[in-house]
Chain A
C-alpha cells in the first residue's frame, strides 16, 4: 500500500464531530507544507521519496538505513526478495541484493582500512553477518556459545552492532538474552556484559565519540525508555530516561542523537511513534511528529501530536542533515524523507 493512500484510508470518520461543534464544517484549511519538529530541528516531509514498484522491490518491515561515503543510502528489510535496497539521495534505486536474511534487523556501516563494510544482524538466523557494500559475505559471527551465557543458538537474537575505531565489534542481543557481546575485529570473543540486570530490550547500540578522546557506547533499553551509556570495557556509566518513548537505536550526527521512537505510552494505541532528537547533553530538543519537549520543560509529557509516522524504527541522517525514517509494520511502506529547513 502506498503511504499516501494509507494516510487517506486511515483518516478519521469526521462527520459526527462536525455536528458537535460546527467548527470544522465552516473552516477552509489552506494548503501548506507540513512542518514537523521544533526549534533548531524542523523538517518538511517527503512521503514519496524512495517509492518503488512493490512487485519488483517489495518491503516487509523497513528496519534500518545507513549512508556510505559516496552518498548512497542502504535500506535493510526482512523481505527476502531483496534484503537490501540501495538508493541515491533523490530516492532512485541504484542496486538491490540479499535473499538470505529472513530476520534482517540491524544495519551498521563501518570504514575499515579505506573500505566500507556493512554489519547485518539477523535474529532468525541468530547471526551477525559482515558484508561488502555489494553484499559479499566476508565474516559471520554465530551465537557466542563460548561465552557460556547461551544454552542454544536459538536464544541469541541480535538486533544491532557498533564498531569501535580499532575494529572491535559490539553486538546487542536485544531480542534475546540482552547481552552486549564484545569481539575483536577478527570476531574473537573479548567480553560479554549487560544482560537482563541492565536491559529490557537492548535494541540498539552505537559508538559515542562526541567527547574527544573518551569513546563510549550508547545503548537503548527500549522497553525501559532509557538510553544507557557504557564504557568500551562494559562498565555502566549513566543513563538518560525519555519517559514514554520506546526508542530504537541511537544514531549520532555531530553533537545530536537521533532516535526513532517506535511507539509511545500516549496516546494508548500502537501507532503513536515519533522521532526524538537529543542535544550534546542528551536532552530532548526536538520531537518531529510529537509534542514540543521544551514547551514546559517537562520531558515526561512527550507524546505524538500528528499522525505522520506509524512505527518509526530507524533514522538515517545524511550529509545535509536530512532524515530518512525506516518504519516497522507500516503497511510495507518505503522510507519517509524529512528535509531539514
Chain B
C-alpha cells in the first residue's frame, strides 16, 4: 500500500516538473494568492463586532483560526464572524491552482470593559506633525486610522518615549496593552522594547514586565498590540518605557535615517 502511494505521488511530481520545465511562462502553482480581505478597519469595538471576509476570485477557500480567551476555533469561512470579546483571527486564502496567501492576522480589542486612567506625562513630547489631539490620544479608546496624517496618532522620530499614568482605581493582576503602528514604507516601525513599571505610590516603581521586539524585517502594514501581564498587587501608577528603533534597517530604502514610532492608545484590562 505504501509503495502504491509512493508511485502515485511520484507520478504527480514528475508530471508537475515536466510541465514546469517545458513552459517558458510563469506557472500558476508558483504564484501565491493575495491576502484575504476583511472589512474590519477598527480593531477597537464596544460590546460586539462583526467581521466579513472576502476574496475576489472564484473557488477560493478562506481558512480561519479564531482565538479568544475561552476557545480556539478553526474552519472555512461562510458568513461574518461575530465577536463579543478580545480576539485574534488568522485567515489564509487557499485555491488548488495557486500557493496559499500569507496569513492575514486581525486582532480585535473590546474597549468598553477596560480600566480608566489619567495620563500624567509623556516624555518627550510627540513631534509637532503627529501630535494633534495630544495626550488624550492615548486614552480616548478610539483607534487611529491607517493613514499616518490622520489625527489620533502620537509620532516620535528616533526617540525613546516614557508615558506615566495614574489608574482611577488600584489594580491587581492586570494586563497592559499598547497600540502601535507598523508602516515600514512610511518609515514607521514597531518599538524595539517596552518596559512596564508599576507603583502603589507613584514614587517607588518595580518592573512588571518587558517585551523585546528585535524583528524589523519586511512586514506588511499592521497595527501592533504588545501585551504585558502583571501580578502586582495594589498597583495605582504605571510607567511605560518604550525604546524606539533608532535607525531604519539596511534593507530599507531610507536606511540610515531615523525611524518613527507611532502610538495611539494604552489599554488596561
Contacts and interface: CB of A to CB of B under 8 A. Distances in A.
Interface of A: 4, 7-8, 10-14, 16-17, 19-21, 23-24, 27-35, 44-48, 266-272, 290-292, 295, 301, 303-308, 329, 339
Interface string B146-182: 1000000000000000000000000000000000000
A267 B35 contact: yes
A14 B27 contact: no
B27 A46 contact: no
Nearest to B184: A270
A24 B33 contact: no
Interface of B: 12, 15-20, 23-37, 55-57, 61, 63-65, 74-76, 90, 92, 94, 96-104, 146, 184-185, 220-221, 253
B19 A32 contact: yes
Given A305-B34, A305-B57, A16 B96 contact: no
A14 B99 contact: yes
Contact of B24 (A29, A48, A270): A48
B190 to A, nearest CB: 15
A32 B28 contact: yes
B56 A305 contact: yes
B56 A301 contact: yes
Given A270-B220, A272-B34, A329-B253, A16 B16 contact: no
The secondary structure that dominates the B interface is mixed
A28 B56 CA distance: 23
Contacts of A307: 31-34
Contacts of B253: 329
A12 B92 contact: yes
Contact of B100 (A17, A33, A306): A17
A24 B100 contact: yes
Contact of A20 (B17, B92, B220): B92
Contact of A23 (B19, B36, B61): B61
B56 A291 contact: yes
A269 to B, nearest CB: 4
Contacts, number: 146
Nearest to B35: A267
Interface residues of A, dominant DSSP: loop
B267 to A, nearest CB: 22
Given A12-B102, A21-B74, A29-B96, 14 more contacts: A16-B90, A17-B94, A19-B74, A23-B76, A27-B96, A28-B16, A31-B28, A35-B28, A44-B25, A268-B220, A268-B221, A305-B57, A306-B98, A339-B25
Contacts of B103: 12-13, 16-17
B23 A33 contact: yes
Nearest to B56: A291
A37 to B, nearest CB: 13
Contacts of A34: 25-28, 30-31
- Residue from B25, B29, B33, B35 having most chain A Cβ neighbours under 10 A: B25
A306 B31 contact: yes
Contacts of A270: 184-185, 220-221
Highest count of chain B CB atoms <10 Å: which of A21, A290, A292, A303: A21
Contacts of B104: 267
Contacts of B31: 7, 34, 306-308
B205 to A, nearest CB: 38
Contacts of B23: 31, 33
28 contacts: A7-B30, A8-B30, A12-B32, A12-B92, A14-B92, A17-B94, A17-B103, A21-B63, A23-B61, A24-B96, A29-B16, A30-B97, A31-B29, A32-B19, A32-B27, A34-B28, A46-B26, A266-B37, A269-B35, A295-B56, A304-B34, A305-B33, A305-B34, A306-B31, A306-B33, A307-B34, A329-B253, A339-B25
A27 B96 CA distance: 7
- What 8 A-B pairs are tightest by C-beta distance, nearest first? A31-B19, A291-B56, A269-B220, A17-B92, A267-B35, A45-B26, A21-B63, A12-B102
B154 to A, nearest CB: 21
Nearest to A301: B56
A47 B32 contact: no
A268 B24 contact: no
A305 B63 contact: no
Contacts of B99: 11-12, 14
